[in-house]
Amino acid sequence: MSQPPVAIVGAGPVGLTLGCELLQRGVPVRLLERVDRPHPHAKAIIVWPRGLEALGRVGAADEVARLGHVIRAQNYHSGPRRLARTRFDKLRGTRYPYALSIPQEQTEQVLRKRFRALGGTIEFGVRLEDFRQHADGVELALSTPQGARGAECSWLVGCDGAHSTVRDRLGVPFTGASYPQQFLLTDGEWRTSLAHDEAHYFMTPAGVLVVVGLPGGLYRAFVSVAPDAEVADPAEVVRQAAAERCPVPFDLAGEGRTGVFRVHRKMAERWRVGRVLLAGDAAHIHSPAGGQGLNTGLEDVSALAWRLAPVVLGAAPQRCLDDWERERLHVARGVVRDTDQQTRLWMLTGWKAAVRDTLLRGAQHAGLLDRVVVPRQAQLTLTYPGAGRRSGRITEGGRLPDLPLPQGGWLHDVLGGEGDTVLLFGGGAPAPAASAGGAPAVRAVESPRLRSALRIRSGTAVRVRPDAVVTRVGRSAEDLLGAADGAGQEVT
Ligand SMILES: Cc1cc2nc3c(=O)[nH]c(=O)nc-3n(C[C@H](O)[C@H](O)[C@H](O)COP(=O)(O)OP(=O)(O)OC[C@H]3O[C@@H](n4cnc5c(N)ncnc54)[C@H](O)[C@@H]3O)c2cc1C
């Protein structure tokens, strides 16, 4: 009997990425999308290095990077005065030392192409209405262009955005709060002398203006306005607010594309209920400050797919999905907190704004913004709960830095897509006991330069998951191979 598919609800960036991940692992997928064609809305633009790595795991990063526009720095202004400037080219341990600016619809387009190349079909115009779980699967109630239909799947993943039907039908609370301000944006041909390859934050008593370069010489202007402000003509509101808050001339040539938003900070209290999972905006929404939502969603499913695939194929127990839920809840809480702090900082006035300005200048002066804030924004330094032993720049529960290999390529390229990899840094080839058939793969990495960049001793062994998270650090491959692993495979 053929394997029932995993049903993914929502063909946004998160559902598409999960679809690609699962197809790559031989898991059949149904990708259901209620609208009958891709959304045209102006949404995310910033993809950070760790988000690009998640796209790289489904073969989409190169094209996204080619279409995007590199942002090299960000500037914080209080009124007309620049308080701080952070540089992304100082990011270490990544092949993407920048923030990439690319409209979300283009990222989705690349992902759709990739999903189809892997043999997937997007079922546009098919809406999940309801579902019922039983011991071996989930029964779906769908509305389709041909009328109501039933369907059976093995697992159901709600990647269906902030107003998730899956979350709603599960009855999982989505708790948090909303910001009172209104937010508006216009993407277009803004005439300005502001550097096109940088992001610019202007915090003023009237609200914030954020300006970010887009591909093709365009810019995004994003503004907050008072909760009770009259927004009869959104494009005109953005134009006026931007002109007033920007210390250099800033004016729109032509029409541009305008959107109006309310911003929330909310999290689903559970991300797994039996055979039903939630990821992306269905599980967490936050302020667009720092561009984290799409990135966090991509990483949700990057951390899910390598666990879910063996569960679906009967090769792993369902309980490993609880580890996923625990990890990602921890990360999402941190992201909601960080973006909330940044949004509140934007809105301060009077003496509080003066204190903020002094602190920002101090943090810039001490090098804290480049050293701490930017790597965190880029999501490179996020660690999972219970982060443990540390050896040089490698921490259990943290991401393995990605560094160039002496023979060409990058360290992350050495990782296996299916299961864990044990990397042996120096100290010769893997011992035969550790390398005789089966998973995880054991790979020797012979490069004093790499060891020195990672600040680790020869003989250090590191166990790494397919999503580049370090699970254990030890002194030999045997140290890191549990009894349950069987033996490893030698690839040097
Ligand atoms: C103004 C703005 C700027 C942003 N900027 C950034 C940024 O710079 N960087 C960043 O990382 N994030 C940013 N974000 C957040 C980002 O846009 C979201 O996090 C991202 O869209 C989440 O993707 P998703 O796939 O989880 O959900 P969505 O993109 O919302 O996709 C969900 C899909 O599910 C479908 N669907 C819903 N219900 C059903 C159903 N019942 N049946 C079938 N299909 C269904 C929907 O039609 C939709 O296609 C921004 C958001 C906004 C609004």
76 found inside a domain: no
231-245 pLDDT, tens digit each: 889 999 999 999 999
Tell me the pairing of strands 441-445 and 489-491. Answer: parallel
The number of the ligand 1 atom at minimal distance from the alpha carbon of 164 is 38
Q: CB of 140 within 8 A of CB of 281?
A: no
Residue 267 to residues 11, 87, 329, 423: CA-CA distances in angstroms? Answer: 21, 31, 8, 36
Q: What is the pLDDT of residue 114?
A: 98
Q: CB of 258 within 8 A of CB of 252?
A: no
131 found inside a domain: yes
The number of the ligand 1 atom at minimal distance from the alpha carbon of 46 is 8
Domain count, the chain: 3
Its domain, for residue 236, covers: 182-262
34 shares its domain with 132: yes
468 shares its domain with 415: yes
350 found inside a domain: no
400 shares its domain with 449: yes
Q: How far is the CA of 144 from the centre of ligand 1 (A)?
A: 22
439 shares its domain with 319: no
Q: What is the pLDDT of residue 243?
A: 95
Q: What is the pLDDT of residue 430?
A: 62
Q: What is the pLDDT of residue 154?
A: 98
Q: How far is the CA of 271 from the centre of ligand 1 (A)?
A: 17
Q: What is the pLDDT of residue 419?
A: 87
* Residue 209 binned pLDDT confidence (cut-offs 50, 70, 90): very high
194 shares its domain with 163: no
Q: What is the pLDDT of residue 432?
A: 52
Q: Is it the case that residue 343 has pLDDT exceeding 60?
A: yes
Q: Residue 140 and residue 7: Cα distance in Å, rounded?
A: 9
Atom 53, ligand 1: residue with shortest CA distance: 43
The number of the ligand 1 atom at minimal distance from the alpha carbon of 39 is 49
50 shares its domain with 167: yes
Q: How far is the CA of 41 from the centre of ligand 1 (A)?
A: 10
